[in-house]
């Protein structure tokens, strides 16, 4: 069975925020997308990654064109646009390019802020979700575990991530650029998740003492406020807190806007001439972008932050070059493993045929050895098996050594023809865990709990049938535009 690895998606490099927020895949949407893709005959394995700066789908496909078309249709529907419109922003990679792209993503080399640490955990959680949903298989299991290992190695062996920059810390720096000393400023953080925590930490490092945390779940707001010496406020009190704040950083995971223009217009009238800096680092956006028109209010969103960090990127490029060398080494190792999958079924079938010959010859001559003891019969079997193993050793070594080379196909076909080998479906079941990994999971939710901790720390518009092949052709023509 042929298999091809595919990666397709959008990121801050290829698509504006307005589109990225429509393609955001929080856990509930990601689960539905994975289930829909895995129901396709052309898709064997699937993982979906969604962060504030990217939404990507990784597939192992028996029919790459059909699988890519299915993924394009699903993403276009999620975005509420036609597939032909989405192809203008989409990038697509296959095989080695897909591997290299994921390893770079996990290492933080493809991030808006090179080396940012949050992406490692986001990739890990995306993989865990797909694993638990039964959408992964031997290739994606190995791929994501090694990608996480590559990310950890880059952070351990290079300085690319040592400054601990994040989207949240850059947002705080942007506020400081606008307002100067922040120590006496009143700051409102909306959202008590991971980005809310990073924001609170960055504010404390800037000497901010007056931090108010608002969250729909008040107990989470209390927990975050206590850790950073702030004060929790109820979500219903948001309008009054907006009126008193100097800086607002919004970073919830809400699928809808939570601060609209009308609300801030009322707030603005209560503030006299006091300036308000609003930084929206949520995707989808928390704040209505029309608030930019209001007097006294300055709004920054993720696109603005991207421009703000452009000059910082050059500072890290030298170290990133070394990190990419490490990623290349990790990619080469994965490529060797992936190439070996083509020869492993033939090697197994060859050895199985040799052992079958041993069994057949011993059975045919059993009556001639009536006087042999059980111990002598076992010695005879061991010796016969050893002869077969030694005879097959050199062909096996040469076949393994040819993996990934042009000669590999010729060797495989020659052995299959000469020995009459029949390979029974060399594809593996979805969610099988490759050799060397602990646990197995052929069924959804049947994943050993011990497996996950072993990971590195860290509106519808379906495509018409006539459109699909053309859409995929357009994706193919744009593969190298990303980055």
Known catalytic membership, residue 38: no
CB 61 within 8 A of CB 68: yes
CB under 8 A, 24+ apart: contacts of 262-268: 263/239, 264/288, 264/291, 264/294, 264/297, 265/291, 265/294, 266/239, 267/239, 267/242, 267/243, 268/294, 268/295, 268/296, 268/297
Question: Which tokens sit at 47?
Answer: 């993982």
CA distance 320 to 163: 13
The DSSP-derived string for 420-482 is T---------TTPPPTTSS---SSTT---TTTGGGS------PPPHHHHHHHHHHHHHTGGG-
* Annotated active-site residue in 25, 46, 52, 458: 52
Q: CB within 8 A of 3, min separation 6: which ones?
A: 44, 60, 61, 62, 139, 341, 427
Backbone angles phi, psi at 231, to 5 degrees: -130, 130
CA distance 24 to 54: 8
Catalytic positions are: 52
């Amino acid at each position: 069975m042929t298999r091809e690895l595919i990666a397709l998606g959008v990121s801050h490099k290829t698509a504006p925020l307005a589109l990225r927020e429509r393609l955001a895949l929080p856990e509930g949407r990601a689960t539905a997308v994975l289930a829909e893709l895995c129901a396709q005959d052309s898709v064997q394995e699937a993982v979906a990654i969604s962060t504030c700066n990217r939404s990507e789908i990784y597939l192992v496909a028996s029919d790459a064109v059909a699988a890519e078309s299915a993924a394009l249709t699903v993403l276009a529907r999620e975005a509420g646009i036609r597939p032909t419109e989405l192809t203008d922003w989409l990038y697509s990679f296959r095989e080695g390019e897909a591997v290299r792209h994921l390893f770079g993503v996990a290492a933080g080399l493809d991030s808006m802020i090179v080396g940012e640490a949050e992406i490692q955990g986001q990739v890990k959680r995306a993989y865990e979700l797909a694993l638990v949903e039964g959408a992964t298989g031997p290739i994606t299991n190995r791929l994501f575990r090694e990608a996480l290992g590559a990310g950890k190695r880059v952070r351990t062996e290079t300085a690319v991530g040592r400054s601990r920059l994040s989207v949240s810390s850059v947002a705080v720096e942007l506020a400081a650029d606008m307002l100067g000393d922040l120590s006496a400023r009143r700051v409102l953080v909306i959202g008590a998740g991971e980005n809310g925590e990073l924001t609170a930490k960055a504010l404390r490092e800037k000497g901010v003492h007056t931090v108010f945390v608002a969250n729909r779940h008040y107990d989470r707001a209390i927990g975050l406020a206590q850790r950073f010496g702030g004060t929790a406020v109820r979500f219903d009190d948001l309008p009054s807190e907006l009126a008193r704040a100097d800086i607002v950083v919004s970073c919830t995971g809400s699928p809808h806007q939570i601060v609209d223009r009308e609300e801030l217009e009322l707030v603005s009238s209560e503030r006299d001439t006091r300036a308000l800096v609003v930084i929206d680092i949520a995707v989808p956006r928390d704040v209505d972008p029309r608030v930019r028109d209001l007097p006294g209010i300055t709004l920054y969103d993720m696109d603005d932050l991207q421009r703000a960090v452009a000059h910082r990127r050059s500072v890290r490029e030298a170290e990133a070059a070394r990190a990419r060398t490490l990623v290349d080494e990790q990619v080469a190792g994965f490529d060797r493993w992936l190439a070996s999958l083509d020869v492993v079924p033939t090697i197994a079938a060859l050895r199985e045929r040799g052992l079958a010959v041993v069994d057949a010859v011993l059975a045919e001559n059993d009556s001639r050895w009536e006087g042999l003891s059980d111990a002598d019969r076992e010695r005879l079997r061991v010796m016969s098996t050893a002869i077969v193993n030694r005879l097959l050793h050199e062909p096996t070594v040469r076949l393994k050594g040819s993996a990934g080379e042009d000669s590999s196909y010729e060797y495989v076909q020659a052995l299959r023809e000469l020995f009459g080998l029949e390979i029974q479906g060399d594809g593996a079941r979805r969610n099988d865990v490759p050799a060397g990994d602990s646990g197995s999971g052929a069924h959804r939710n049947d994943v050993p709990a011990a497996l996950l901790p072993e990971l590195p720390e860290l509106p519808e518009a379906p495509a018409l049938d006539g459109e699909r092949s053309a859409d995929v052709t357009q994706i193919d023509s744009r593969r190298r535009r990303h980055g």
